[in-house]
Amino acid sequence: MAIDFGNTDYKSLIANLVAAERSSRSSIVVSKAETYGSKVDALAAIKTTVSSLGAAAGKLDSSLDFKKFNVTTSTDGYANVISTGSAPPSSLDIEVVAVGKPYRGLSSFDLGGSASTSGTFSLTVGTGASEQTIAIAGATSLQDLASQVNASVDNPGVRLTVINDAAGSSKLYVESTEIGTVNAVTGMSGTGDFGDLGALDTTGFDAASSASIKVNGVTITNDASNTFDSAISGITIEALKATTGVADIPASVQVDVSRDKESVTAAVSAFVLAYNELRSEIREGLSYDVDTQSAGTLYGESRIKQLERELTALMSNTFGLTGGDFTSATQLGISFDKAGNLTLDTDKLDSALDTDFNEVVAMFAGASSGQGVTEGLADVFADMADRYSQFNGYLDSRRTALLDSLDQLQSKQDRIDLQLLGYEAVLVKQFAALEALQSQIEGTSSFLDSQFNGTD
């Protein structure tokens, strides 16, 4: 009778045995690696959100962030009014008496603009202490002369253009780049082929003139520019067109400069949103479901618990001027809901801005408000965000520790893999011996069968 071992697939059997051993020995390592990897990713996400909160706080930690104004004019096109941020809210009546004009003149010349020429050229702008002169030697044509003057670092504030007429003669058009008589061309001369450039004809051009405006009845003149940047502190006025009061032209323009409370409200809203996004991420990361016994990715992380406590504590602090009307966030309309998120009452914030704008600035911006306050709400949140999100900060240090643990787990897995290679080699050797034994047994079985059959 033959002994039948069947067609055993030893390779598959060995592979299954090694896989079972790997699963048994590596399961804890793999589980820990997955947990640590998830924590590393979650901490990176928290770091990004903390940075966003810091950036939102940064929009409120300087008094300059609050010094924004809306400027509205009754009629466009006559005066451009810009607030630089230090102006008080005000109403202005602006009359543009005159828009300043630059000097303009035309000089005739006999040679064509591209003809070969030689000689020297000199041009002077202004008089007395403000006089400036440019001299050119070696120009090869009238066009070359104009190009050299226009490109020169010594250009006193003029622009030269060559105009060629149908008769073949050329004219040199000269224009000051700034308005007023102080910037007018007061002298021009040439030698050689440029000798005829001395006379400038201003016929048909408006004479160089100064700009003049009236602000609430006060006359202000500018001899050099149409821009008035010192008439009112923090406000720049550019004269565009005279308000003559004739026909449909207004006699003056009414300008209202008011604080841009909308931009402040938008910045505070952005801060509240960034705060809530961070609280939401933290809440999800630290969560634990008793029913399903499932934990959030960051469950048990002490750094994140510390961050959560700090977020609540900072919002509960007092800020601003000692004895002032506004010293807490709730007085500005920022409060907690039942879930621990922030809510913003924009009407309450708007009312606070109307009541005492400077106190609100002091409460947010702290020291930069210039009101003797050491730190404001935005300051402490910006500092907190920096501690947690900066390079090698609180979150980075924890991520580094987890990454080190991952490296250690990888080293442990490498050792297990090496041991499994040895285990596999032993199995291969054992099954090879078994296979040889099986072959021997099968041979013996066949021999016995033949003997028994022969006896029969």
C-alpha 333/C-alpha 318 separation (Å) is 14
186 versus 411: the higher-pLDDT residue is: 186
Long-range interactions of 204-208: CB distance < 8 A, separation 24+? 205/104, 205/105, 205/106, 206/101, 206/104, 207/101, 207/103, 208/101, 208/102, 208/103, 208/104, 208/176, 208/179, 208/180, 208/181, 208/183, 208/184
Q: Lowest-confidence range among 130-134, 309-313, 440-444?
A: 440-444
pLDDT of residue 456: 54
pLDDT digits (tens, 9 = 90+) for 210-244: 999 999 999 999 988 999 998 888 899 999 999 99
User: What share of the chain has pLDDT > 70, as a percent?
Assistant: 92
Please say whether the beta carbons of 451 and 444 come within 8 A.
Answer: no
Position 372, amino acid: G
Please calculate the CA angle 318-323-329 and round it to the nearest 5 degrees: 30
Give the whole-angstrom CA distance, residue 140 versus residue 252: 52
Kindly state the percentage of the chain with pLDDT values over 90.
31
pLDDT at 3: 41
Band (289; pLDDT cuts 50, 70, 90): confident
5 CB neighbour count, 10 Å cutoff? 13
Q: 112-116, 221-225, 256-260, 354-358: lowest mean pLDDT where? A: 112-116
Q: How far apart are CA 130 and CA 157, in angstroms?
A: 12
Q: Which of 158-167, 377-386, 425-434 has the lowest mean pLDDT?
A: 425-434
Distance, in Å, from the CA atom of 183 to the CA atom of 333, rounded to the nearest integer, reads: 56
Cα–Cα nearest to 187, from 172, 177, 197, 173: 197
Query: Do β-strands 211-215 and 132-137 pair in parallel, antiparallel, or remain unpaired?
Result: unpaired
Give the pair of three-digit tokens for residue 238.
């550019």
Judging by beta carbons within 10 Å of its beta carbon (0-12, 13-18, 19+), is residue 439 exposed, middle or buried?
A: exposed
Instruction: Residue 192: count other Cβ atoms within 10 Å of its Cβ.
Output: 12
CA distances 451 to 5, 265, 439, Å, are 21, 105, 19
State yes or no: pLDDT of 431 exceeds 90.
no
Are 334 and 272 within 8 A, CB to CB? yes
For residue range 10-54, what is the model confidence (pLDDT) as tens digits?
788 888 887 887 777 777 877 787 888 888 888 899 999 999 999
Judge whether residue 322 has pLDDT over 80: no
> What's the pLDDT at 207?
86
Domain ranges of the chain: 12-64+262-397, 69-99+210-259, 102-197
Alpha-carbon span 407 to 438, nearest angstrom: 46
Q: How confident is the model at residue 1 (pLDDT cuts 50, 70, 90)?
A: very low
CATH class (in words) of the domain with range 102-197: mainly beta
pLDDT 10s digits, 263-287:
889 999 999 999 999 999 999 998 9
DSSP per residue, 259-310: E-HHHHHHHHHHHHHHHHHHHHHHHHHT-EETTTTEE-TTTT-HHHHHHHHH
Given this model, what pLDDT does residue 5 score? 45
DSSP state of 101: B
Contacts of 379 (CB under 8 A, 6+ apart): 57, 61, 365, 366, 367
Which residue do the tokens 């099968």 mark? 442
Nearest one of 101, 56, 114, 122 to 209, comparing CA atoms: 101
Q: What is the pLDDT of residues 85-94, one digit of tens each?
A: 667 788 999 9
Q: For the ranges 106-110, 171-175, 239-243, which has the lowest average pLDDT?
A: 106-110
Q: Phi then psi for 443, rounded to 5 degrees?
A: -65, -45
Say whether pLDDT at 2 is over 50.
no
The angle that helices 10-58 and 377-389 make with each other, rounded to 10 degrees, is 150
Calpha distance 136→148 (Å, rounded): 8
Of 239-243, 251-255, 310-314, 371-375, least confident by mean pLDDT is 371-375
Question: What is the rounded distance in angstroms from the CA atom of residue 193 to the CA atom of residue 207?
Answer: 29
Region 57-63: what's the mean pLDDT?
83
Backbone angles phi, psi at 138, to 5 degrees: 90, 15
Q: What is the mean pLDDT of the chain?
A: 84
